A and B are shown apart, each in its own frame.
Chain A
Amino acid sequence: MHSIWAVATNTIKQALRMKVAAVFLILLLVLLPVMGFSATGDGTLKGRLQTFVSYGLSLTSILLCLLTIIISIYSVTNDIEQRQIYTVITKPIRRFQFLLGKLLGVVLLDAILLSLFAAIIYTITIYTPQFFNTTETERIQANNEFFTARAALAVPAVDVSQEVKDRYEQLKRNRELPENISYDEIIAELTTQQQLAKRAADVGQVLVWEFDNVEPLAQSLFIKFKYDVAVNPPDMQVYGRWFAGDYQYIRYGTESKTPVYDRIHKHSVRNFHEIEIPADVVPEHGHLAVAFQNAPLNNTVIIFPPDGIEVLYKADTFTGNFVRAVLLILSRLIFLACLGILASTFLSFPVAILLCLFLFSTASVSGFVIESFGYLSENIGIIYSYTIKWIIQLLPQFDKFNPTKFLVPARLLSWSLLARCAGVMVCIKAFLLLVIALVIFSYREIAKIIV
């Protein structure tokens, strides 16, 4: 253990004194406060906060990712290329201890720098409302929609398979099936149609959604929604009558013990809006129903897009969410450190850097990559599914678990989600990389120069 620790502290000294880390450190120390003042967003306090947290965390994350890749590779390949390793590895230290020491050093440095920058971002964020002239409404909005961690209850896609089947049979009977389209495509098209129908409200029609296990921490619930319309109204605004309360009352009209929310709102179309609802409408059993009526004043069918309605409620504080978001970044850094160490066990510095940067950028847009390969795979088939698919699956999905995706809309990043994500990334993928690195490093000839 003492030798691992010796190598780890030496690695930290190396990173700091060789000024690799210093460049990143100064860059961030200058940029973060500047951003705090220059990020304005859409002009409101909430927009300002969202922009700052989003850019600040993203910048910190990406710079620390680069730093991790560079340091982890530099500190191992440099020792091999400059041959300091000759004097180190001939001391009573096992080779795996040497690599673990390097890893520990890089991760410790990451942890220190990350907590420093996270603290700066957090402080600036918390004090931003006091620095700028803000109205009371802006503050309330920021408190409700930014300084919180809200759990979202999304509406599951309705199962329409039976209706699709019926519709298909009906078309078949009437010989109205299109000739040159395959069965799968017809079914897909019908499913889309049926689901759209479930989300559309004709004038006067009522749509009802039900949510289970609603346990709000605070005074209010929020319904977040977006209207799509068939025909644009003159002023691009529509009326909607919203209900929220015990599902039995809304569904069946039975007596309700809890109050029921019932109000008409006017909102612009094709934008997200939120309605605040007092939390006491939630019944004790937590089974809440929300209903929308397309007000008769309107002249158009109103459609909710697939992600067009959610119920949000405060489930945790902003601070808790922020800490978890930072931990998410840390797990990303640990993965990259392992990747860098693996690459440096068998590649020279420039090649290892290139490889890691390539993998890093691929992981950052993994959603896109997976999607496009998925699309291609229809043509490549077997070759794809047995080769590239596995390699892509091994990459972490940085974009899917982007911390700003949670902080900006004040979404709850739950411990379980964090544990799942970090567990897969660190405990499985990074560990796998580390094991491979240890095996390669244990069996390679240290004195053999790699070019």
Chain B
Amino acid sequence: MEYAVETFSLTKIFSDWWGRAKVYAVDDLNLQVRYNEVFGLLGPNGSGKTTTLKMLLGLLYPTKGRALVLGGDGADSKINSRIGFLPEESYLYRYLNARETLDFYGRLFGLPAKVRKMRIEALLDMVGLKAVANRPVGTFSKGMARRIGLAQALINDPDLLILDEPTTGLDPIGTRQIKDLVLKLVERGKTVLLCSHLLADVEDVCDRIAILYGGKIQSQGHVRDLLQQTNKRQITTDAISDTAIEKIKQLIEDEDADCVVTSPMDKLETFFIKTVAAAQQQAQTTSGAVSTTKIGDFLTRQTAAEDILDILVSAPVSKESLPESPTTEKVVPVESPTPEPDEQLLSKLTGSAEPSQPEPVVRDESRPSDGLDEKVTTQLVESEAPQAEQEQVNKSILDQLTGRSRPQGGDEEQTDKSQAGDVGDA
């Protein structure tokens, strides 16, 4: 078995009542997801991403072709026990509380009560919902529901994680968390197939991507191969002084080359839009929306403020969350968690809107490193760490994360190094 997921001319045609073909949702799709990679399935709304996932899992039957998941049928319960699936929205039983929800899914896997309990607590901790674990999930906000959705997908410690729009409705911290989680799972040898149109997320974590439009693959390959401009060179440095920049410029001019000094941009976004635009120009059919990149002012204006509100609302939640971030094991113990962190969080978040010193970053380095991996694994396996210690740890994690969340709030990026510095100061 070479591939974790492989499809052979997978086709799904939705027909009308008379059996006439109406919509080619997925058209002759040949997809190969290797073991131990993060594969991103991208595309505009209605391009067939979710339909593909549903066929992989046996929720829909292909009109033509077939799909192999972990070498078998995705609807087979033996295969299912090795899969974690997060659907495009968190479809949860509203009347169950968070803990019962996870318990229910754990029981479907036939996990023994002890293991179940351990994993549930660990997962609740991880997604930061321990404080509200006894509230019915029907009362949860979208982001909180999403977190529970993610937790249920992980309860069996799956070999293959299938995530459909994992970051929708999540605050920046949650988004970062999912990305870190994905990377860490892959380090542990798991495979992740994720479906998204939030390109920044994909770019950060995916090894390979495929862009779908009108049910067909428009482009496929390694993220780096697809995005790299071979006729150019980019040097990424820490923040350096203007004089240093001048010196470098001088050097480059000696080489007879042009040089522009900026902070790095999201390049995948352009690529994505280009791909879709090209497909649209060829007048290819799509059953989805024919999207443009323009969004009405009224839609974009409020978002920053709302994000902050969102975080504030869930602040008591996120306070305890995010234990998987790096260096958690070596923090200075703080007494009990107080409302204080919230204020810090707020000020940092609001502060983030102001321009701070731009710092270039090398992409690969921005990925969270080893310490993180260790932490999450240990969490899944042994969650019996004393509560108090955990909370102390969490508080410092929060500080770290708020430090980290700055770039997301303000379109800037920082190196891990500078973050570490922040934490130390705090």
Name A's B-contacting residues (CB within 8 A).
2-3, 5-7, 10, 13-14, 17-18, 82-94, 445-448
Contacts and interface: CB of A to CB of B under 8 A. Distances in A.
B91 A90 contact: no
B95 interface: yes
A92 B80 contact: yes
A5 B91 CA distance: 21
B85 A90 contact: yes
A110 B392 CA distance: 49
B91 A14 contact: no
Contacts of A87: 85, 87, 91-92, 105, 149, 152-153
A7 B104 CA distance: 8
A390 B108 CA distance: 40
A447 B78 contact: no
A447 B55 CA distance: 9
A333 B400 CA distance: 58
Contact of B59 (A13, A84, A92, A446): A446
A5 B108 CA distance: 9
Interface of B: 54, 57-61, 77-78, 80-81, 83, 85, 87, 89, 91-93, 95-96, 100, 104-105, 107-110, 136, 149, 152-153, 156
A14 B95 contact: yes
B81 A92 contact: yes
B165 to A, nearest CB: 13
B379 to A, nearest CB: 22
Given A90-B57, A447-B60, A84 B92 contact: yes
Contact of A3 (B54, B61, B87, B108): B108
Contacts of B108: 2-3, 6-7, 88, 91-93
Given A91-B109, A445-B59, A10 B91 contact: no
Contact of B85 (A7, A82, A86, A445): A86
Nearest to A91: B108
B96 A13 contact: yes
A227 to B, nearest CB: 62
Contact of A10 (B57, B104, B156): B104
B80 A2 contact: no
A447 B87 CA distance: 11
Nearest to A93: B108
Contacts of A5: 107
Contacts of B109: 91-92
Given A7-B108, A87-B149, A447-B54, 8 more contacts: A2-B108, A2-B110, A6-B108, A84-B93, A86-B91, A91-B105, A92-B110, A445-B59
A85 B108 CA distance: 12
B59 A86 contact: yes
Contacts of A7: 108
A89 B80 CA distance: 9
Given A3-B110, A87-B152, A447 B77 contact: no
8 contacts: A10-B96, A88-B108, A90-B58, A91-B80, A91-B81, A91-B109, A92-B80, A92-B110
A86 B75 CA distance: 11
Given A82-B91, A94-B77, A89 B59 contact: yes
Contact of A86 (B78, B87, B110): B87
Given A87-B85, A90-B83, A447 B59 contact: yes
**Which residue, A93, A446, A447, has most C-beta atoms of chain B within 10 A?**
A447
Nearest to B164: A86
Contact of B87 (A2, A10, A83, A92): A83
A448 B109 CA distance: 25
**Which residue, B58, B100, B156, has most C-beta atoms of chain A within 10 A?**
B58
Nearest to B89: A83
A86 B83 CA distance: 13
B237 to A, nearest CB: 46
A18 B59 contact: no
Contacts of A10: 93, 96, 104
B95 A445 contact: no
A113 to B, nearest CB: 18
Contact of A6 (B58, B83, B104): B104
Contacts of A18: 95
Which 8 pairs, one residue from A and one from B, show the smallest C-beta to C-beta distance?
A6-B107, A17-B95, A92-B77, A447-B59, A92-B81, A91-B108, A83-B91, A92-B80
Nearest to B95: A17
A86 B55 CA distance: 12
B87 A445 contact: no
A90 B76 CA distance: 9
Contacts of B77: 91-94
Contacts of B89: 83
A432 B87 CA distance: 34
Contacts of B81: 91-92
A60 to B, nearest CB: 25
Given A10-B93, A84-B91, A448 B60 contact: yes
A380 B133 CA distance: 65
Given A83-B87, A447-B54, A92 B78 contact: yes
A287 B1 CA distance: 82
B60 A3 contact: no
Nearest to A448: B60
A445 B12 CA distance: 12
Nearest to B56: A90
A84 B107 CA distance: 16
Nearest to A1: B110
Contacts of B149: 87
A88 B105 CA distance: 7
A5 B60 CA distance: 26
Nearest to A444: B61
A256 to B, nearest CB: 71
A107 B325 CA distance: 47
A27 B96 CA distance: 25
A86 B60 CA distance: 11
Contacts of A90: 57-59, 80, 83, 85
Contacts of B107: 2-3, 5-6
Contacts of B58: 89-90, 446
A95 to B, nearest CB: 9
A82 B137 CA distance: 14
B104 A445 contact: no
**Which residue, B93, B105, B108, has most C-beta atoms of chain A within 10 A?**
B108
B51 to A, nearest CB: 8
B102 to A, nearest CB: 11
A91 B85 CA distance: 9
A15 to B, nearest CB: 10
